[in-house]
Amino acid sequence: MQSGARYQNRAAAWLAVQMLAENDLPWDLPASTTAESINCETTNSADDIFATTSSGGRIYVQAKARLLWNADFVSALTQCVRQYRDLCGAGGKSAPLDPKIDRLLVIGGQNSSEPIRVHLLNVLARLRAPDTVVRRVRDAARNKAETDTLTKFQQAMMAIWRTMNHSRLTESELRNMCAALYIAILDVDGDGEQARGARADLQRDVVVQRQEAARAWTEIVAVCTDLAVLRNGTDRELLRSKLQAKGFSLQGRPSYRSDIRKLEDLAVRTKEHLERHSEIVCAGHRLHIERTCSLTLESHIEDGHIVVVGDPGAGKSGALYAFATRMRDRGKDVLLMSADDIAAGSLGELRQELGLEHEIRDVLKAWSGVDPAYLILDALDSAQTASARHLLQRLIDLAIALKSRWRVVLTIRKWDLRHNSTVQALFRGQPVDAAYSDAEFSQLRHLNVPVFDDEELKQVRATSTLLALVIDQSPVQLGKLLRLPFNLRLLASLIDSGLTIEELTPIRTQIELLERYWSVRVLGPDHGSGAAEILLRPIVREKVQARSREYSKNRLTDIAMGPIMTELLRESVLVEFVTSASGKVNSSVIAFSHHLIQDYAVARLVLRGKPADLCRELESDPDIVIWIWVSLEMHFHYLWWYDRDSFWETVFVLEASARAPMLAKLVGPAAAADLIEREADFDPLVKRMGHGNAQSAATAFSHLVGRLSAKNVDSLRPLVGENAPPWARLLAEVSKS
């Protein structure tokens, strides 16, 4: 009895390995049919083992260590006949037996008798043939040995049927049963053929360490033994988790392996795409700055999902690149995606865009391993469309809901996080490190990417003599400006364009830096007088209207503009689009080389003009402010430094509009709160509040105060004290109005 139970458990283990390896099952089942679950010692009539299959079928198994023409074999046949009657008789509780997908299976070991192991298998195979091929049951035997075996089998089945149903078994009923009845010989003991095959399957398709296959086989036998004692079962995922709990590192599921490779390739291409955001190029040297915040992200990600925030240009993508690179170098599983590469608006479209056979959630679930894995999504704010943004948020939600080894890292601009309640809900928790937190997001598990600190600037000085000279000779305002990685990258670009240190050090604002960059790279003498902006203006406007960061060159109708486009590409103002999904350069699609360059282009080429025109633009398309808010901020900064009267006039016009979006009304007063330095700066606001039409000024003042209330403490611009802007004077003047 013990040897019988031992064989039964090893037979169940063999079937479990077929399930793990996703091997096609034998026994004439439909192509690509795999085992999906296994139960041991069931309540079925054929009760030793029960399995379900991917084709919706059921396999009822009786297992005997040795099949002989004796009472044990007749007992196994009896259980199969009873199972057939249970399924095909009137009032059955389960679906009727379907011989196309269901099986009644008698399994025996290699020492089974030859009449069963050889002759009965041949006879049963012929009985399953159409009656036009084998017209009568006796025709299934081709020689004396088969005739003797068939006679014994037919007599046994008739006796079982008569005892069970009190009726005669017809040839038609016998053939109906035989359509689903199979004999299988499995040598699963010791070094038997099927035991060796199971270990080979484990080595090839299941365990990562090939030498662990034998131990895995032993463990699966132990699992099936426990299942038999408990009269319980397992499916593929549960069995995989049991193996992982025992310390086995598992490969991804075989049927998902192609999809996993595609996602791994996607991660490599996205990492290459992000590399340019991680370096500063100056005088032919590539500077890679080791960001402390990236190391902090690494030290806290094991504890849970993290949203990475920062101001535009702070280096979020660069920090993410460094983190992803270190994880991959350590052999960790990483899925890295860039939001601006994804055009899909639904999970089905994403599956098609990435060329996956399965839904991405199922691929993540099947992508197994012992160590944590990382789903890293860069720049949610740069998603091509609102539907793409919603899709990516859905993907994050699904990955978090798996509650598996996957850790989610998302980067997003602060402004976008501030106005995205969905993302906030996904990352509820405490900041991961007080040194890298933003008080505004104190209820979110976040990491704030700051500007360069002194140690990081020291790395810049140590690797670039030219940048070291500019940094050391910079006045306070420029020095503060160059702590933002994007600004330092722009300055390095200007140095490469031939500007001297003396020409650069007077710069004090980001707008000045961008104006100088645009003048050199876009309006330079090689581009023709204003021709580049003539080319870019309709492109930028169309990109704004379409909420897209890409543009098809095929839409250009003026052949004369071709050389200008080529020059903008050569100057790296524009780049040809590379989609991470395919890794191919699409030379017919262009984009700006950095999101902030596009933001500036929108501010310069679309937003500049009369305040009333800007107001009408925002009134006609209120939702656009979410997409262009950085550009709008740049526009107000430009007006502040280059046309102060127009700055305040634009603020008042927007505040007075009943249809302009509220978010647009906040940008100007917020800029004033950041930029006011002396009393003359707020004179237009105070004067307007003293006039009869003071409501727009009063509303602007309240928005300015709101910005001051929400700002973090800035040592260079405190709210009170010797170095504070003249806020007290502003309050005094306003109180008189």
CA distance 287 to 464: 8
Q: CA 672 to CA 475: how far, in whole Å?
A: 22
> In 3D, which of 550, 313, 273 has the Cα closest to residue 415?
313
pLDDT reading at 464 higher than 60: yes
* Average confidence (pLDDT) over 456-467: 91
% pLDDT > 70, the chain? 95
pLDDT tens-digit profile of 99-117? 999 999 999 999 999 999 9
pLDDT at 582: 59
Specify whether the CB–CB gap between 46 and 83 falls below 8 A.
yes
Q: What is the pLDDT of residue 712?
A: 62
When pLDDT is cut at 50, 70 and 90, the band that residue 591 belongs to is: confident
Average pLDDT of every residue of the chain: 91
**Each residue's pLDDT tens digit, 168-223:** 999 999 999 999 999 999 999 999 999 999 999 999 999 999 999 999 999 999 99
DSSP symbols for 477-508: HHHHHTTSHHHHHHHHHHHHTT--HHHHTT--
Identify the three-state secondary structure at position 431.
coil
556 three-class SS: coil
pLDDT of 705 reads 93
Average pLDDT over residues 419-444: 95
pLDDT the model gives residue 185: 96
Report the alpha-carbon distance of residue 731 to residue 736 in Å, rounded. Answer: 9
Nearest Cα to 272, choosing from 324, 221, 229, 204? 324
Residue ranges covered by each domain of the chain:
2-245, 255-448, 454-521, 643-737
What pLDDT score does 557 carry?
63
Report pLDDT digits (tens) over 535-553.
899 999 988 888 877 777 7
- 308-348 residue pLDDT tens: 999 999 999 999 999 999 999 999 999 999 998 888 999 99
Q: What is the pLDDT of residue 546?
A: 84
Opening angle at CA 622, ends 601 and 629, nearest 5: 35
Tokens matching residue 242 = 């049991």
Structure confidence at residue 52 (pLDDT)? 97
Long-range contacts of 691-700 (CB under 8 A, 24+ apart): 693/656, 694/737, 695/655, 695/656, 696/651, 696/652, 696/653, 696/655, 696/656, 697/652, 697/655, 699/655, 699/665, 700/651, 700/652, 700/655, 700/668, 700/669, 700/672
Strands (E), 444-555: 446-448, 551-552
How high is the pLDDT of residue 326? 95
Residue type, 575: V
pTM score > 0.85 for this model? no
Distance CA 707, CA 636 (A): 15
User: Is 525's pLDDT higher than 80?
Assistant: no
In this predicted model, which residue has the larger pLDDT, 369 or 31?
Answer: 31
**Any idea which of 272-276, 415-419, 684-688 has the lowest mean pLDDT?**
272-276
Residue 38's φ and ψ, nearest 5 degrees, are -140, 135
Task: State the pLDDT at residue 696.
Answer: 93
| pLDDT at residue 282, as a whole number | 87
What's the confidence (pLDDT) of residue 456? Answer: 93
Say what percent of the chain tops pLDDT 90. 70
- Predicted confidence (pLDDT) at residue 92 exceeds the cutoff of 70: no
Q: pLDDT-based confidence at 580, cuts 50/70/90? A: low
What pLDDT does residue 31 have? 93
Answer yes or no: is pLDDT of 715 > 90.
no
User: 255-448 falls under which CATH superfamily?
Assistant: P-loop containing nucleotide triphosphate hydrolases (3.40.50.300)
Contact 594, 314 (CB under 8 A): no
Lowest mean pLDDT among 199-213, 346-360, 553-567, 698-712: 553-567
H or E segment to which residue 6 belongs: helix 2-21
Euclidean distance between the first and final Cα of the chain, in Å?
A: 101
Q: Which has the closest alpha carbon to 605: 522, 534, 557?
A: 534
Would you state the pLDDT for residue 423?
97
> pLDDT confidence of 529, banded at 50, 70, 90?
low
pLDDT of residue 513: 94
What pLDDT does residue 584 have?
Answer: 66
- pLDDT for the residue 559: 60
Which is nearest to 282 in space by CA: 17, 460, 116, 421?
460
Mean pLDDT to the nearest integer, 516-528: 79
Q: What is the pLDDT of residue 714?
A: 59
